[in-house]
Amino acid sequence: MLRLLAKSLRGRRIRSWLAVAGVATCTLLVIVIASAYRSVRKAMTDYAGQASVDLWVAPQGSDNMIRGSFISFIPFGDVDRLREIPGVKAADPIIQGFLPVESLGSEEPRKRLNLLTVGFRQPDGLGGPPAYAKGRAPRSRDEVALDKAAAHRLGIGVGDAIEFIGRRVVVTGLTTGTNILASQFLFTDLDLAAEGSNAVGRASFVLVQLAPGADRERVVRAIEERSPGVRAFSREEFVESNEREVASGFIPLLALVTFLGVGASALLVGLLILSVVDERRGDIAVLMALGTGANAVGRGVLAQAATLSFRGALIGVALSYGLNAVLEAVLPTIPLRISALDAVLIAGLFIITGSASALAPVVRLSAIDPLEAFRS
Amino acid sequence: MIPLVLEDVSKTRGRGARAVQVLHGISMAVDAGEFVLLEGPSGSGKTTLLAVAGGILTPESGKVFLEGHRLHGDSRASDRGRRAKAVGFVFQRSNLLPQLTILENILLMGRIAGLKAEDARREAEDLLRRLGLIQLRHRHPLELSCGEEQRVAVARALVHRPRIVLADEPTGNLDSHAGLSVAESLAELARSRGSAVVVATHDVRIASFASRRIKIEDGTIATEQPSSSRGAEGQALK
């Protein structure tokens, strides 16, 4: 009976589909923002969470790669002291900073980007690229690897040359998981990056690999005792700190967009249901005259709102996967990492709020007099 | 059990200075299988009487018994359930729900009355077959003529085999041929299902199907008489 009731109170087709389209668009919007957040968080945690690195040693006051460590450095002398600590198998410095690169193609004007540059000990020192989409690690000062989205923005590929810190370098590899939306990673020689950053002989972080069986806590204490100006973080702590930093930038935006999107979507569904209750007043009066209770009619109306919201949310989820595929192929600079759980939760949120938005119009049902069915 | 009994029913419509007493102490009973005609000028209280009899309006005084159960005494929900099971309504317009097919319109009434889905479908298809509308069952009301729509409304009123059908000017919006067809359908199907019928109408052609005629004037029963020409007149009109 509920199906027939809901069908009997269906709104006009075009309006209904407009409401569905509105819900779908809002769902898509929220999923896109959530996926961008996931993607940036993943990029930061993939890099910071490299399995070969057990400890991140940072200057005091710096506990993540996004904020800090651009003006505060660790002297190379400290790196040598770290290597001497029992339980340390390897310790490699990296330096990071935003440095400009420029395409060298025939196109004018040349494309120029500021990339999050990581200087590491080439070719296999700790802190190199987490994964390659194409090519190989850079092996000299004249070679770099950069994120594939950055390469797309510059219009270059493996084997092409770019201008970096006033010199011509060749791109040997395109990396993945290194796109943080606002910028992308570039990996280069440690000394070259230090020169470009005016930080010769200093490191942004020192990455430590422990010897098998080493006591991590003991090594951490030893590092902090020998170098009072630094702090050592376990890989997990450093990842968590980076995640927190990304979240602090994204979550307010995500919350705002979600709030606005859910509000707009609920308004659309609520307005449609309100128009149904107002325009189908005569039919509702007939249903009541025939013996349908206001509660049952209300359930029919709510079922309609739930159906519209469900369709909209489902289409929004489908569109987000479609958009992801299109962006991946056409515009990889916008990274979307859609989490199925996020999609389900967001769709669920839209379905619940869309359905709830019909509650206010449903209250108006009580004002409908079944006697209206007798009036011609 | 007598399907419908009204005892000294009075009803006022409107409020304050605009309040008008529409029914004044009406008492009547409708036996099983009866076809009762309510006649009277516009504003005489026929529709209000049907609405009170069908449990849609609550009288200020008096009692309404539907199948022996007093309406307006228990909760509104139990009144509604009783009314849905025992009463069928036919309105001046068909009032079919435009989003549903004609079969679904009839099925919905069956479900409201508490029939199981398969029983409702069987009854609905049987009625549509008898009305010659079975081939139109998947059409929507707007695809039918006014006469066809109103015949579907008759089927809707009877799908749950109610004890009584209350019809308010069921032929008021139809031409003479369609009106007669609807009246025949209502009389014939109601008789075959053992349902009593109370029709409020100005249409003299329906009088030929009535077993009793009640004239309402100013909210009271002015005259009440058995209809002598029932059946024969109906046949003649055919």
DSSP line for A10-72 = ---HHHHHHHHHHHHHHHHHHHHHHHHHHHHHHHHHHHHT-TT--EEEEETT--SSSSSSSS-
Cα pseudo-dihedral A167, A173, A176, A178, rounded to 10: -20
User: Is residue B167 within 8 Å of residue B198, measured between CB atoms?
Assistant: yes
Specify the 3-state DSSP secondary structure of A84.
coil
- What pLDDT does residue A40 have? 85
Say how far apart CA A14 and CA B141 lie, in whole Å: 20
- Which of B54, B93, B112 lies at the smallest CB-CB distance from A292? B112
Q: Which residues of chain A are modeled with pLDDT < 50?
A: none
Residues 6 or more apart in contact with residue B216 via CB below 8 angstroms: B38, B39, B40, B44, B45, B46, B49, B222
All residues of chain B having their beta carbon less than 8 Å from the beta carbon of residue A373 are 89, 91, 95
Tell me whether residues B98 and A291 touch, CB distance under 8 A: no
Task: Write b or e for each residue in B123-150: b if 16 or more Cβ atoms lie within 10 A of its Cβ, otherwise e.
Answer: bbbebbeebebeebbeebbeebeebbbb
Burial class of A208 by CB neighbour count within 10 A (0 to 12, 13 to 18, 19+): buried
Which of A1, A2, A290, A376 best probes binding to B when mutated, by most B CB atoms within 10 angstroms? A290
Chain mean position to CA A64: 17
The Cβ of residue A16 has, within 10 Å, a number of other Cβ atoms equal to 18
- What pLDDT does residue B234 have? 42
Tell me whether residues A4 and B91 touch, CB distance under 8 A: no
B158: Cα within 13 Å, side-chain hemisphere: 28
- What pLDDT does residue A68 have? 61
Residue of A nearest to B99 (CA): A8
Helix ranges (H only) for chain B are 46-53, 76-86, 102-112, 117-130, 146-158, 176-193, 204-207, 232-237
Cβ of B47 under 8 Å from any chain A Cβ?
A: yes
Say how far apart CA B50 and CA B22 lie, in whole Å: 12
Specify the 3-state DSSP secondary structure of A173.
strand
Q: Give the bridge partners for A113, in sequence order.
A: A101
Give the residue from A302, A299, A305, A297 showing the smallest Cα distance to A280: A297
Averaged confidence pLDDT in chain A = 88
CA distance A67 to chain B (A): 60
Tell me whether residues B91 and A8 touch, CB distance under 8 A: no
Burial class of A333 by CB neighbour count within 10 A (0 to 12, 13 to 18, 19+): middle
Tell me whether residues B87 and A373 touch, CB distance under 8 A: no
- What pLDDT does residue A166 have? 86
Cβ of A292 under 8 Å from any chain B Cβ?
A: yes
- What pLDDT does residue A45 have? 86
**Which structure tokens are listed for B229?**
């020409």
Residues 6 or more apart in contact with residue B45 via CB below 8 angstroms: B11, B22, B23, B26, B216, B218, B219
Cβ of A68 under 8 Å from any chain B Cβ?
A: no
Strands A205-210 and A230-234: unpaired
CA distance A26 to chain B (A): 28
**Which structure tokens are listed for B145?**
């003529």
Say how far apart CA B54 and CA B52 lie, in whole Å: 5
Which of B13, B15, B48, B56 best probes binding to A when mutated, by most A CB atoms within 10 angstroms? B56
Cβ of B152 under 8 Å from any chain A Cβ?
A: no
Cβ of B64 under 8 Å from any chain A Cβ?
A: no
Percentage of residues in chain A having pLDDT higher than 90: 39
Cβ of A282 under 8 Å from any chain B Cβ?
A: yes
Cβ of A318 under 8 Å from any chain B Cβ?
A: no
Cβ of B111 under 8 Å from any chain A Cβ?
A: yes
3-state SS, one letter per residue, for B96-154: CCCCCCHHHHHHHHHHHCCCCHHHHHHHHHHHHHHCCCHHHCCCCHHHCCHHHHHHHHH
Q: Give the bridge partners for B90, in sequence order.
A: B167
Say how far apart CA A199 and CA A51 lie, in whole Å: 27
- What pLDDT does residue B102 have? 95
Which of A9, A301, A374 best probes binding to B when mutated, by most B CB atoms within 10 angstroms? A374
Cβ of A81 under 8 Å from any chain B Cβ?
A: no
Task: State pTM to two decimals.
Answer: 0.75
- Which of B77, B87, B173 lies at the smallest CB-CB distance from A293? B77
Tell me whether residues A283 and B50 touch, CB distance under 8 A: no
Specify the 3-state DSSP secondary structure of B168.
strand
- Which of A10, A291, A374 lies at the smallest CB-CB distance from B112? A291
Backbone angles phi, psi at A181, to 5 degrees: 70, -60
Cβ of A322 under 8 Å from any chain B Cβ?
A: no
Cα pseudo-dihedral A293, A298, A301, A306, rounded to 10: -130
Residue of A nearest to B86 (CA): A291
User: Is residue A108 within 8 Å of residue A223, measured between CB atoms?
Assistant: no
User: Is residue A120 within 8 Å of residue A187, measured between CB atoms?
Assistant: yes
User: Is residue A21 within 8 Å of residue A314, measured between CB atoms?
Assistant: no
How would you write the pLDDT of chain B (238 residues) with one tens digit per residue? 788 999 999 999 888 888 888 899 999 999 988 999 999 888 888 999 999 998 888 898 999 998 888 887 767 777 788 888 999 999 988 899 998 999 999 999 999 999 999 999 999 999 999 999 999 999 999 999 999 999 999 999 999 999 999 999 888 888 888 888 888 888 999 999 889 999 998 888 888 888 999 999 988 988 888 876 544 344 434 3
Q: Give the bridge partners for A96, in sequence order.
A: A118
Cβ of B149 under 8 Å from any chain A Cβ?
A: no
All residues of chain B having their beta carbon less than 8 Å from the beta carbon of residue A372 are none
- What pLDDT does residue A24 have? 94
Say how far apart CA B115 and CA B101 lie, in whole Å: 19
Burial class of B1 by CB neighbour count within 10 A (0 to 12, 13 to 18, 19+): exposed
Tell me whether residues B50 and A1 touch, CB distance under 8 A: no
Specify the 3-state DSSP secondary structure of B158.
helix
CA distance A254 to chain B (A): 40
Say how far apart CA A198 and CA A73 lie, in whole Å: 11
* Helix (H) or strand (E) run with residue B20 in it: strand B20-30
All residues of chain A having their beta carbon less than 8 Å from the beta carbon of residue B169 are 376
Tell me whether residues B112 and A373 touch, CB distance under 8 A: no
- The pLDDT tens digits for A169-191 are 999 999 988 988 878 999 999 99
3-state SS, one letter per residue, for A218-276: HHHHHHHHHCCCEEEEEHHHHHHHHHHHHHHHHHHHHHHHHHHHHHHHHHHHHHHHHHH
